Amino acid sequence: MLGADCCFCQWGADARTFVSTDPLGNWTYIDQLNYCADGKAPPDHVSGMTVNPCSINDPYGTNFTVPAQQFNVATLPISSEEILYMYYGERFRSSKDGIKGHDFQAWIPIEFTENDSPKPMKFYDNFTINIQEVYSTESF
């Protein structure tokens, strides 16, 4: 997963997904996971890091659907047969006091199509994860 380079911007970043059979080998583009909030795809290139890709002429215009810069994807075993993939990103400039350490994060479940391709993300105000006990709590 790669996104446009933006340094601590409040509008977030795109999340382009790629696949390869070799970490050093040929990568194939799959799809965009984080479209602009108006449903449009962000442009491939913008003129600088201070340009909002979802609103070229207005840095305070439309943001990305998930207004965060990607940080990682967490894998959560929710049962012995199923793993939940969670996108998480930093929501820069989201704190009321402006302190970077107080900025929020976005945790978004990644959903997949029937052929295992990731679907474009949706921003959820809240969601519930049902986790079954996977590991024994007995002493070794």
Provide the whole-model pTM: 0.80
- Label residue 139 by pLDDT band (50, 70, 90): low
Give the DSSP letter string of 45-75.
--S-TTS-TTSTT-TTS--BSS-SEEEEEEE
Give the total number of structural domains in the chain: 1
Residue 81 in domain: yes
Q: Find out whether 41 and 133 touch, Cβ atoms under 8 Å.
A: no
Residue 115 in domain: no
Q: Is the dihedral of CA 68, 70, 71, 72 positive or negative?
A: positive
**Whether pLDDT at 104 is above 60:** yes
Distance of CA 77 to the CA centre of its chain: 19
* pLDDT tens digits, one per residue of 31-81: 999 999 999 988 877 777 778 888 888 877 889 999 998 889 999 988 888
- In this structure, what token pair is assigned to residue 76? 């959560």
125-140 mean pLDDT: 72
Residue 85 structural domain: 16-109
